[in-house]
Amino acid sequence: MYVYPGHPLLYLPALNTCPGYICGKDDRNTRAKGKVCCFRISFLKNRVPPEKEVQKLEDTPWCSPIKVKYGDVYCRAPQGGYYKTALGTRCDIRCRKGYELHGSSQLICQSNRRWSDKVICKQKRCPVLAMPANGGFKCVDGAYFNSRCEYYCSPGYTLKGERTVTCMDNKAWSGRPASCVDIEPPRIKCPSVKERIAEPNKLTVRVSWETPEGRDTADGILTDVILKGLPPGSNFPEGDHKIQYTVYDRAENKGVCKFRVKVRVRRCGKLNAPENGYMKCSSDGDNYGATCEFSCIGGYELQGSPARVCQSNLAWSGTEPTCAAMNINVGVRTAAALLDQFYEKRRLLIVSTPTARNLLYRLQLGMLQQAQCGLDLRHITVVELVGVFPTLIGRIGAKIMPPALALQLRLLLRIPLYSFSMVLVDKHGMDKERYVSLVMPVALFNLIDTFPLRKEEMVLQAEMGQTCNT
């Protein structure tokens, strides 16, 4: 039996006749349904009921079965037929989770034995992940649905965000994109703790060290190095000194190293100035290498070591000095020997007069007696030469010189024999000034205060608190 392609279900025109065939005239039911069927003449002789034959044709498989990989097919045959691929069958296509449909969501079995469209379920794909700076990621199945990607960071960097993300059904990645951040501080190695001994006669020592090197664990780049404390190569004083280096990387993480520089000063015991004397020390006065020099006030002689040094064994060299009252020997044979006793110790003011009744002599002596404190402060010894040889008398305080020695002194210093005069001699035996008339003690003191040695004496006396009230 032949069925003409024209068919109301396929929206094609129906014809009353078919070429070479005779249309059945008894097929009222079929026509009543709006269907036109043409039968072979030979078939009419078999008396097959037209309605049953038409129903059989409509249930015959027509299109090939639909199979959609990763999808499901739901078909509806026309008029509730049995076969799901009969002519006019409509099929709905649905993709499984993680897949999306490419093509029409509904297919129709057409008269050309083909479905109305071609469909495919493709696996869903998420956008390609952005590669994090200083890191990367590894994926199980690329960017396809249900693929898991795990982020990792380069050494020195820490992962911020989700370590693992999954491509979801909505074609988006679970979680937020991860990034690699540098949160680890730079590494810096400090020098070992340093302890140094101050140099001889100094309270400091030069300390050097290699500048510590910092290293960033991420990219190895440091942006800044800050030193707090004295730099290497400096002279460090006695004490405990804190040194700190701070380094920063490009992420502003900081690394710190701290160490100490200890400086010790080796010291001997403290020395004291002798009674009626002075002490002048170098450096700190009791440290290794320091030197202390001693001297006595006017009228006293130094006995013992004039200078002592703090040695490496922390003991003082020499012996302890003392200041004893000056013992003037007037029994020497020459005036030069007499003057040598005062060398670098005392200044001399020699007052000469031909007679004790001389008015200038008496007035001058009275003024000097009233200024005794100023004389002692300036280390001045008054020597009196009274009379004319052989009745000449020389006097130094309470000691009396032989007439011959007094005469030698007058001759050595070229002092007039028969008139009043005075001679000022410094500590080196030099004739500094001569007077033939009265001189006020203030004028005398002002002159002496200009001498080089006197300036040093005044400093020492000020430190000792020695002064005259009048």
CB within 8 A of 169, min separation 6: which ones? 97, 98, 124, 145
| Side-chain-facing half-sphere of 397: CA atoms under 13 Å | 14
Q: How far apart are CA 427 and CA 332, in angstroms?
A: 19
Pairing of strands 214-215, 22-23: unpaired
Claim to verify: residue 114 and residue 204 sit in the same structural domain: no
- Please report the pLDDT score of residue 194 as a whole number: 79
Full DSSP string of 323-367: EEE----TT-SSHHHHHHTTTTT-EEEEEEES-TT-HHHHHHHHH
- Please report the pLDDT score of residue 68 as a whole number: 92
Whether 3 maps to a domain, the answer reads no
The distance from CA 277 to its chain's CA centroid, rounded to whole angstroms, is 53
Q: Which of the pair, 299 or 324, is modelled with greater confidence?
A: 324
Model-level pTM?
0.48
Per-residue pLDDT at 316 exceeds 80: yes
Phi-psi region at 70: left, alpha or beta (left = phi > 0; alpha = psi -120 to 50): left
Q: How far apart are CA 209 and CA 232, in angstroms?
A: 6
Mean pLDDT along residues 301-330: 93
Amino acid at site 304? G
Whether 246 maps to a domain, the answer reads yes
Claim to verify: residue 52 and residue 148 sit in the same structural domain: no
pLDDT digits (tens, 9 = 90+) for 124-165: 999 998 899 889 999 998 899 999 999 999 888 888 888 999
CB within 8 A of 127, min separation 6: which ones? 143, 171, 173
Claim to verify: residue 356 and residue 405 sit in the same structural domain: yes
8 A C-beta contact, residue 276 and residue 296: yes
Claim to verify: residue 48 and residue 79 sit in the same structural domain: no
Torsion, CA 386, CA 387, CA 388, CA 392, rounded to 10: -60
Q: How far apart are CA 427 and CA 345, in angstroms?
A: 6
Per-residue pLDDT at 363 exceeds 90: yes
Torsion, CA 350, CA 353, CA 358, CA 363, rounded to 10: 0
pLDDT digits (tens, 9 = 90+) for 246-297: 888 777 788 888 899 999 999 999 999 999 888 989 999 999 999 999 988 7
Q: Of 163, 188, 198, 189, which Cα lies nearest the Cα of 177?
A: 163
Q: How far apart are CA 108 and CA 130, in angstroms?
A: 43
Q: Give the chain's radius of gyration (CA, Å).
A: 65
8 A C-beta contact, residue 279 and residue 301: no
Whether 26 maps to a domain, the answer reads yes
Last residue of a domain, which of 218, 235, 264? 264
Mean pLDDT along residues 179-202: 84
**Length reported for the chain:** 470
pLDDT digits (tens, 9 = 90+) for 10-66: 434 444 444 443 444 444 333 333 344 443 333 333 444 444 444 444 556 788 898
Claim to verify: residue 341 and residue 453 sit in the same structural domain: yes
pLDDT digits (tens, 9 = 90+) for 318-350: 999 999 988 899 999 999 999 999 998 889 999
Whether 139 maps to a domain, the answer reads yes
- pLDDT band (50, 70, 90) for residue 5: very low
Q: Token match 């024209």: residue?
A: 6
CATH of the domain at 157: 2.10.70.10
Which strands sit side by side in the sheet containing 254-264, from one edge to the other?
A: 194-197, 254-264, 239-249, 222-228
The β-bridge partners of 361 are none
Full DSSP string of 370-386: HTHHHHHHTTEEEEEEE
Q: How far apart are CA 39 and CA 45, in angstroms?
A: 10
Claim to verify: residue 258 and residue 293 sit in the same structural domain: no
- Please report the pLDDT score of residue 426 as a whole number: 94
Q: How far apart are CA 272 and CA 366, in angstroms?
A: 38
CATH of the domain at 438: 3.40.30.10
Whether 65 maps to a domain, the answer reads no
Whether 189 maps to a domain, the answer reads no
What is the maximum alpha-carbon separation in the chain?
Answer: 204
Mean pLDDT along residues 361-366: 96
Q: How far apart are CA 295 and CA 316, in angstroms?
A: 17
Domain count, the chain: 6
Distances 253 to 152, 244, 249, 257 between C-alpha atoms, Å = 21, 16, 6, 14
Claim to verify: residue 321 and residue 370 sit in the same structural domain: no
Amino acid at site 417? L
Q: How far apart are CA 444 and CA 340, in angstroms?
A: 23
Amino acid at site 427? K
Claim to verify: residue 341 and residue 457 sit in the same structural domain: yes
The β-bridge partners of 400 are 395
pLDDT digits (tens, 9 = 90+) for 364-386: 999 999 999 999 889 999 999 99
Q: Which of the pair, 36 or 455, is modelled with greater confidence?
A: 455
pLDDT digits (tens, 9 = 90+) for 413-449: 999 999 999 999 999 999 999 999 999 999 999 999 9
Helices assigned H by DSSP within 186-264: none
Claim to verify: residue 50 and residue 115 sit in the same structural domain: no
Claim to verify: residue 401 and residue 352 sit in the same structural domain: yes
Question: What's the domain range around 96?
Answer: 71-123
Whether 2 maps to a domain, the answer reads no
Whether 270 maps to a domain, the answer reads no
- Please report the pLDDT score of residue 219 as a whole number: 65
Q: Token match 């004319």: residue?
A: 388
Claim to verify: residue 283 and residue 399 sit in the same structural domain: no
Claim to verify: residue 75 and residue 26 sit in the same structural domain: no
